[in-house]
């Protein structure tokens, strides 16, 4: 069943500035509503058949356990409230349809019923087949970030790749897939460095792609209730949302990454870096793949609390009840 989700899907892996990008685009724009992903959507997919008519209630419960509320007004969602949106919008009772309804319910609570949802779920690329098959009006904002900056951002965190080589391979794989899709899907690529260096220019380009007017207030997204609430809930995870754009972070990797790590990332990502306009900083030399896989001196320095632990525990209970095994 094809349906209109009134949704812009963001394609961005972790450590790409997706939270900041979503905030700049949606926090102050009347035509976009950008909630923190309310549901661990990918993990609900194996439960779709097992839960049947109970899927809606389970996803609403899970959304209410999110570390950030669906909208700045707060308050739990109700099943009748979300169901009413589904019926009004003609949304199916699938994981994708219910997720759309939950987000649109949040928009309605913000008195933004005409706004499109800006969905930054990190599993959007994994759902690309379902999205393109089922969502009639789907468009995509692709956020790409320099792979050296991605590794520099993630190299002391417990989540994601733990070596320069693993980080580079993940970057290359993700953006190669999006690049291949760009010839057949409506995708606008936004370079995060460009957004940091000249936010107005790149926000205007994104607005033009989406067919909405640029709003000067977008540049003050850090002053929004959503940004302040997110930063207050976890300074470690979302502390930059209530701060202005930090232009100095665009090239921080040049000062902070060891030369060896830079060489590894550039070796792995060279071709895709060129496609997205990133220039190598070190002379090209032969580097065997095995040499690039060596571990580095950078180790995890701090372990952040899992922000979605309540949602994960709820999902584990659902999986156990239906004799299913939940992956990591």
pLDDT above 70 covers a percentage of the chain that reads 89
pLDDT higher at 27 or 156: 27
> What's the confidence (pLDDT) of residue 312?
95
Give the separation between CA 315 and CA 311, rounded to whole angstroms. 6
Question: What is the value of pTM for the model shown?
Answer: 0.90
CB atoms within 10 A of CB 47: 21
Give the separation between CA 269 and CA 171, rounded to whole angstroms. 8
CB atoms within 10 A of CB 309: 11
- Closest-CA residue to 226 (of 74, 113, 77): 74
> What's the confidence (pLDDT) of residue 246?
77
pLDDT in tens, 51-99: 999 999 999 999 999 998 898 777 899 999 999 999 999 999 999 999 9
Q: What is the mean pLDDT of residues 35-52?
A: 93
Averaged pLDDT of the chain: 88
> What's the confidence (pLDDT) of residue 285?
66
Give the separation between CA 277 and CA 298, rounded to whole angstroms. 27
pLDDT in tens, 225-253: 776 676 676 666 666 766 777 777 778 89
Tokens read off for 259: 């030369």
Complete edge-to-edge strand list for the sheet that includes strand 187-191:
32-33, 116-119, 7-11, 139-144, 187-191
Long-range pairs for 153-157 at CB < 8 Å and ≥24 separation? 153/15, 154/14, 154/15, 155/257, 155/261, 155/296, 155/298, 156/298, 156/299, 156/300, 156/301, 156/302, 157/15, 157/300, 157/302, 157/304
In Å, how far are 28, 106, 270 from 15, measured between CA atoms? 23, 26, 19
Pairing of strands 139-144, 116-119: unpaired
CB atoms within 10 A of CB 245: 19
Least confident range of 99-108, 152-161, 191-200: 152-161
Is the pLDDT score of 213 beyond 80? yes
> What's the confidence (pLDDT) of residue 1?
80
3-state secondary structure of 93: coil
Residue ranges with strand state E in the chain:
7-11, 32-33, 116-119, 139-144, 187-191
pLDDT in tens, 258-306: 998 999 999 999 999 999 999 998 877 666 665 566 665 555 445 556 8
Query: For 282, which DSSP code?
Result: S
Q: Of 5-14, 214-223, 277-286, which one has max mean pLDDT?
A: 5-14
> What's the confidence (pLDDT) of residue 75?
87
> What's the confidence (pLDDT) of residue 300?
46
Give the separation between CA 101 and CA 79, rounded to whole angstroms. 11
> What's the confidence (pLDDT) of residue 237?
64
User: pLDDT band at 139, cuts 50/70/90?
Assistant: very high
> What's the confidence (pLDDT) of residue 204?
96
- Is residue 51 within 8 A of residue 57, CB to CB? The reply is no
Query: For 62, which DSSP code?
Result: H
Q: Is the dihedral of CA 44, 109, 112, 69 positive or negative?
A: negative
Give the separation between CA 66 and CA 230, rounded to whole angstroms. 12
Q: Which CATH superfamily is domain 7-31+115-297 in?
A: P-loop containing nucleotide triphosphate hydrolases (3.40.50.300)
3-state helix, strand, coil in the chain (%, to 5): 50, 5, 40
């Amino acid at each position: 069943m094809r349906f209109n989700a009134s949704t812009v899907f963001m394609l961005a892996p972790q450590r790409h500035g997706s939270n900041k990008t979503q905030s700049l685009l949606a926090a102050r724009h009347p035509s976009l509503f950008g909630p923190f992903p309310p549901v661990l959507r990918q993990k609900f997919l194996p439960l779709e058949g097992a839960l049947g008519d109970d899927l809606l209630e389970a996803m609403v419960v899970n959304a209410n356990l999110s570390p950030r509320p669906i909208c700045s007004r707060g308050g739990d969602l109700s099943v009748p409230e979300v169901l009413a949106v589904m019926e009004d919008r003609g949304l199916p009772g699938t994981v994708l349809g219910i997720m759309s309804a939950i987000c649109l319910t949040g928009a309605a609570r913000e008195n933004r019923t005409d706004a499109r949802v800006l969905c930054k779920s990190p599993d959007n690329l994994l759902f690309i087949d379902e999205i393109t098959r089922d969502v009639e009006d789907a468009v995509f904002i692709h956020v790409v970030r320099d792979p050296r900056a991605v590794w520099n951002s993630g190299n002391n965190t417990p989540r994601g790749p733990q070596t320069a080589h693993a980080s580079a391979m993940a970057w290359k794989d993700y953006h190669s897939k999006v690049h291949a899709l760009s010839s057949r899907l409506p995708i606008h690529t936004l370079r995060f460095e460009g957004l940091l260096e000249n936010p107005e220019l790149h926000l205007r380009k994104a607005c033009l792609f989406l067919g909405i007017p640029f709003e000067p207030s977008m540049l003050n997204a850090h002053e929004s209730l959503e940004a302040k609430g997110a930063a207050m809930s976890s300074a470690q995870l979302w502390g930059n949302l209530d701060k202005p754009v930090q232009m100095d972070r665009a090239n921080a990797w040049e000062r902070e990454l060891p030369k060896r790590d830079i060489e590894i990332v550039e070796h792995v990502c060279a071709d895709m870096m060129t496609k997205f306009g990133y220039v190598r900083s070190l002379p090209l030399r032969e580097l065997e793949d095995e040499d690039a896989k060596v571990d580095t001196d950078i180790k995890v320095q701090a372990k952040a609390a899992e922000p979605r632990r309540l949602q994960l525990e709820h999902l584990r209970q659902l999986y156990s009840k239906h004799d299913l095994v939940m992956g990591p």
